[in-house]
């Protein structure tokens, strides 16, 4: 193989590698998730121990959830750090509730 041919091949590979890496890493499935806070206090929400944000009283938080896991632990804590909601869902259960979690006030 001549030097110019080898050079062209390397150039093509250098162009294709970043494109292929982008495609391979961006194909992780994502679902739109929403958290509805029906309580009268601000809640800090965690999914699988990762803080996703604060949902204000009577408000809704929406985003995309990348589901590399087969189970989702949804927890909400008030600003005092007390757990006010904690539930584990399977992927199938999340589909059944249309990826929408409603946190209601304790009775």
- Fold of the domain spanning 30-103: Immunoglobulin-like (2.60.40)
Output the pLDDT for position 6: 82
Q: Residue 67 has what pLDDT?
A: 67
Partners of residue 38 on adjacent β-strands: none
- What's the confidence (pLDDT) of residue 23? 65
DSSP symbols for 21-50: HHHHHS---EEEEEEEE-SSS-EEEEETTE
pLDDT tens string for the chain (107 positions)?
677 888 888 888 788 787 777 666 665 678 889 999 999 999 999 999 999 999 999 999 998 887 677 889 999 999 999 999 999 999 899 999 999 999 999 87
Beta carbons of 54 and 43 less than 8 angstroms apart: yes
The domain ranges of the chain are: 30-103
């Amino acid at each position: 193989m001549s030097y110019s041919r080898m050079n062209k091949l390397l150039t093509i590979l250098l162009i294709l590698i970043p494109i292929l890496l982008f495609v391979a890493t961006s194909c992780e499935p994502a679902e739109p998730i929403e958290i509805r806070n029906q309580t009268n206090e601000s809640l800090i929400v965690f999914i699988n121990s990762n803080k996703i944000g604060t949902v204000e009283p009577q408000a809704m938080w929406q985003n995309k959830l990348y589901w590399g896991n087969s189970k989702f632990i949804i927890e909400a804590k008030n600003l005092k750090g007390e757990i006010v909601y904690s539930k584990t869902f399977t992927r199938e259960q999340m589909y059944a509730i249309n990826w929408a979690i409603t946190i209601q006030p304790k009775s």
